[in-house]
Amino acid sequence: MPANFEVVIVGAGPAGLAAASAAVERSRRVLLIDDNPAPGGQIWRGEGRQPPRGVETWLETQVLGPLRPGLLMADRAGVPAQISYEKLILATGARERFLPFPGWTLPSVMGAGGLQALVKGGLAIEGKRVVVAGTGPLLLAVAAYLAKRNARILLVAEQAPRQRVLRFTANLWRQPAKLAQAFSMGRYLALKYRTGLWPVSAHGNGKLEEILLSNSRRLACDYLSCGFGLVPNSELAALLGCRIATGEVLVDEFQRTTRERIWCAGEPTGIGGAELSIIEGRIAGYAATGDRHSATSLFTARMRASRFPREMDSAFSLRPELRRLVHPGTIICRCEDVRFSQLTSHTTWRAMKLHTRCGMGPCQGRVCGPAVEFLLGCAPEGARPPLYPATVSQLALDRQ
Amino acid sequence: MIRLRVNGKPVSLPEGSVVAAAIALSGLDATRSSVRGEPRGPLCGMGICFECRATIDGQPHQRTCQIPVRQGMEVSTDAG
């Protein structure tokens, strides 16, 4: 028997929590789902955020895909579940973009947010030598957090050129709160922060020992924490048939997707950060429960909040040199150990999958897809069920 | 403190920690071996990349970065 709800929200990060608090004002049957063990998404991980009162919350729950319109198949902490909804709000967030370079598969080379998440999850970082590299303000946030946990931050390497970063920082004057944020992190780490610098390769025997930087310097370290921006998690939206353009879920002013009864808020509609995600989440929550007035009242705030991400996007765009780090033997698809040289003779994502198994492992292209898109210019098309590896017994529920 | 075992080795860490942290604490850098036998460790820390997967209480392919440690857990890694 499926569990029945009026509004089902997938994702309990900033957008999902905001959607839930708006939706619960008019509906008593709101379900909030997240695959993490706690609400808050990636950005509020470990901060003890609570779902709004009156909202039923299922954690460690993963949506595997739709069974038919209005019905989702899920895995709730290892137990198969069916969830029926009248309205669905997708707040599936974003993941980090990983770029391959020689040695990126060595243990202790991680995502920027990835290392932070693991330290929040109890990974001992005290006294460890850490290099944070990649692009965007996230690097400073991660470095500041790790430094507070007594990691030895050796370097924060920002790939964007100095002038762009300076121009971006100057623009922050228009956003005093963001400026304060940038400076309190900046002072702390100012001496370790370098622009126009990126890792070229990582080396070590069985684990990371040393990295080579674009200025030809070698640096011994225990962790390399690397983030090259964020990628929207649009797989569930794609599977539900929502229209997606350049990786982003298309929505109207009420955050409604091109599919009946499905709304989308936050990063899947375009990377915008927590502030914008919260506003979009509230609009979606109100719109889905028929409160168009409250939804409309947030349109101006949404417009204001979307300026910052646009500026960030242009300041921290990825430089072409990053495409040339890979060697023919560099592994691109980590699940199936597919090397760069195996991919270059194919021109579509589909051909790569069929001929090399690239993107066909358990991550289903979530890591290599954006990398291949950046390196070779062909993007993964659509998504296939189940969204995550599932057991036969979970899938067999379909036939009950 | 939560006590569990990683490849038979006892480790203990605070409640709220994840299994991937327990594996690192046990002295392992890698959580699995890749298709071609390379050592791999956690990458994304958020349940996307599946590099941190290991066997927990007999259940294979569990994403250890997403699973909180629980008293008496038995974790085994194919790399270990």
What is the structure's pLDDT at B14?
A: 96
Closest CA of chain B from A124, distance in Å: 7
The pairs formed by B62-65 with CB atoms below 8 angstroms and a separation of 24 or more are B62/B19, B64/B18, B64/B19, B64/B20, B64/B22, B64/B23, B64/B31, B65/A117, B65/A118, B65/A121, B65/B18, B65/B19, B65/B20
What is the structure's pLDDT at A58?
A: 98
- What is the mean pLDDT for each group of 10 consecutive residues in chain B (80 residues)? 97 96 96 94 96 95 95 84
Closest CA of chain B from A203, distance in Å: 13
Positions of chain A with pLDDT under 70: 176, 179-180, 182-188, 393-400
Q: What is the pLDDT of residues A3-48, one digit of tens each?
A: 999 999 999 999 999 999 999 999 999 999 999 999 999 999 888 8
Asked if the Cβ–Cβ distance from A113 to B45 is below 8 Å, we say yes
Closest CA to A322 of A247, A359, A373: A373
CB atoms within 10 A of CB A243: 13
Closest CB from B29, B48, B61 relative to A107: B29
**Residue B80 identity:** G
Residues of A in contact with B69 (CB under 8 A): 122
Strands of A169-222, DSSP E? 193-195, 199-203, 210-213, 218-220
With 0-12 / 13-18 / 19 or more C-beta atoms within 10 angstroms meaning exposed / middle / buried, residue A217 is exposed
Closest residue in A to B32 (Cα–Cα)? A107
Closest CA of chain A from B9, distance in Å: 17
Asked if the Cβ–Cβ distance from B68 to A37 is below 8 Å, we say yes
CB atoms within 10 A of CB A317: 13
**Among all chains, which residue has been given the structure tokens 């932070």?**
A116
End-to-end Cα separation, chain B, in angstroms: 24
What is the structure's pLDDT at A39?
A: 96
Domain ranges of chain B: 2-76
Asked if the Cβ–Cβ distance from B49 to A207 is below 8 Å, we say no
Strand partners, A241: none
Residues of A in contact with B23 (CB under 8 A): none
What is the structure's pLDDT at A400?
A: 46
What is the structure's pLDDT at A367?
A: 96
Whether residue A322 contacts residue A158, with contact meaning beta carbons closer than 8 Å, is answered with no
What is the structure's pLDDT at A243?
A: 96
DSSP state of A52: P
CATH 1.25.40.10 fits B2-76, yes or no: no
Residues of A in contact with B41 (CB under 8 A): 106-108, 110, 207
What is the structure's pLDDT at B80?
A: 42
Residues of B in contact with A61 (CB under 8 A): none
